[in-house]
Structures are given as structure tokens and as C-alpha cells.
A and B are shown apart, each in its own frame.
Chain A
Amino acid sequence: GENVEQHPSTLSVQEGDSAVIKCTYSDSASNYFPWYKQELGKGPQLIIDIRSNVGEKKDQRIAVTLNKTAKHFSLHITETQPEDSAVYFCAAFTSYGKLTFGQGTILTVHP
């Protein structure tokens, strides 16, 4: 089955800096890669996603890149703000299987 590795497990940045979270997946058949943000006491919230036929997608301060050959994808957050502090999860989906999540990254943005 699919295996998703996520790094780093914790990330601490200063307000205004950029943050990058990286994930690798094992199943070359995976074709959909969402990113979720989870705040304390809440469920994961979808923040951006990308399909396998797209190399990059951007939404304001958030961008995701996908390298199908290397089987890795990354989340980039620019101009970080304290409210970006949360746990971030990457995930990968194969059409015949399930949405598999990475282990999560705890992002802390210091004012």
C-alpha cells in the first residue's frame, strides 16, 4: 500500500520567514495530493491540493510543488504569520485505494 513520509516533524520560524514542508510517497499510481492544516481541538482543514498532471499550484501565500519522477511534493508558506501556527499534514491518494496521510509537521511561527 501507499506510504507517505513527511519532514520535518517540527518547524519553528520567525514571523515573515518562509516555511517548507516536504513529503515523499511510495505508490507511483498516486494522483491526488492534498494538504491539511489542523488547529488545536479542530479537524483537519484542506488548504491546498494538487493533481498529478500539475507541477505547481499557488494560492496567495501558499504553494505546493509536485515532482512525480522523484515522488515527492512540498508545501511552501511565504510571509508566515502567527496564525499559521498549526499541525500540517500531507496526503496522497491512489484511485483504487485510500487517502494516506503523513505523520504531520508542527509549525510554530514566532512573532
Chain B
Amino acid sequence: DSGVTQTPKHLITATGQRVTLRCSPRSGDLSVYWYQQSLDQGLQFLIQYYNGEERAKGNILERFSAQQFPDLHSELNLSSLELGDSALYFCASSAWGGPSSNSPLHFGNGTRLTVT
């Protein structure tokens, strides 16, 4: 068990809808990362938050947004959903502001999103 908790495990919704994915980092970790995993794209970095502030941004669509709350949990909001948004969404956490041997990324077990 990595200590990173993601809810829900599965989510099925229709095109055009909006969903929220939740992540609780490992105890003491200040950084939260969101990744999207699809069969043809591998693990794609979306966004990172460190202690409540946005730290780095990847290939995150404008329809997607995220935030990290004072208790350090994070939410990823996906809106105007399209069929192509169906994927596994992973949250990871690390102790400090960037991955390193002293602050490795630990992943949760993901949320499987299916858009119909």
C-alpha cells in the first residue's frame, strides 16, 4: 500500500458531463501530481501542486482543472467530457517540491473513468 488514496475507483458518465476525482496524499507529503494513463499515450503528466500552490503544468486540457486544499488533499475536475477522456487517472505524492531519491513519487491505485 503506497499510502496514496484515490476515490472513486471507477466512474462511468456521459459525454458533456463533469466529474471530480479526489486524492489524499501520503501522510506528510506536500506535493500532489496528477497523471493520465491511456493505452496509446502511456503515463501523461497533467499537473503538480506543492503545499497548495500550482508547481508545474503538463498537457492538461483547458476543460480540466485541479486544486490542492489546506489539508493537502487534491481534486481533479474534468468537464465537458468527451469519449477520448476515458482513461485511468492517477494521483501521486512526494514529500517535497520535486521527485528525487529523497522524495520519490508514490502512486495511488487510480480512478478508472469511462465516458459513454
Chain A residues proximal to chain B, CB less than 8 Å: 32, 34, 36, 41-46, 49-51, 89, 93, 95, 97-104
- Smallest CB-CB A-B distances: 7 pairs: A43-B107, A101-B43, A98-B45, A43-B109, A103-B42, A44-B107, A46-B104
| Secondary structure type dominating chain A contacts | strand
Contact indicator A32/B42 (Cβ below 8 Å): no
Chain B residues proximal to chain A, CB less than 8 Å: 2, 4, 33, 42-43, 45, 48, 56, 58, 90, 92, 98-101, 104-110
Q: Can you name 22 A-B pairs with beta carbons within 8 Å?
A: A32-B100, A34-B105, A36-B107, A43-B2, A43-B4, A43-B107, A43-B109, A44-B43, A44-B107, A45-B107, A46-B104, A46-B106, A50-B101, A51-B101, A93-B99, A97-B56, A98-B45, A98-B56, A99-B33, A99-B105, A100-B45, A104-B43
How many contacting A-B pairs (Cβ < 8 A)? 53
Given the known inter-chain contacts A43-B109, A93-B99, please indicate yes or no for A34 contacting B58, CB distance below 8 A. no
Contact indicator B107/A99 (Cβ below 8 Å): no
Minimum CB–CB distance from A12 to chain B (whole Å) comes to 20
What is the bound-complex CA distance between A89 and B2, given in angstroms? Answer: 17
What is the bound-complex CA distance between A49 and B2, given in angstroms? Answer: 16
Contact indicator B98/A102 (Cβ below 8 Å): no
Choice from B2, B92, B98, B107 contacting A95 with Cβ under 8 Å: B98
What is the bound-complex CA distance between A49 and B58, given in angstroms? Answer: 22
Residue on B with the closest CB to A104? Answer: B42
In the bound complex, residues from chain B placing their C-beta under 8 Å from that of A36 are 107
Choice from A34, A43, A89 contacting B99 with Cβ under 8 Å: A34
Residue on A with the closest CB to B105? Answer: A99
In the bound complex, residues from chain A placing their C-beta under 8 Å from that of B2 are 43, 45
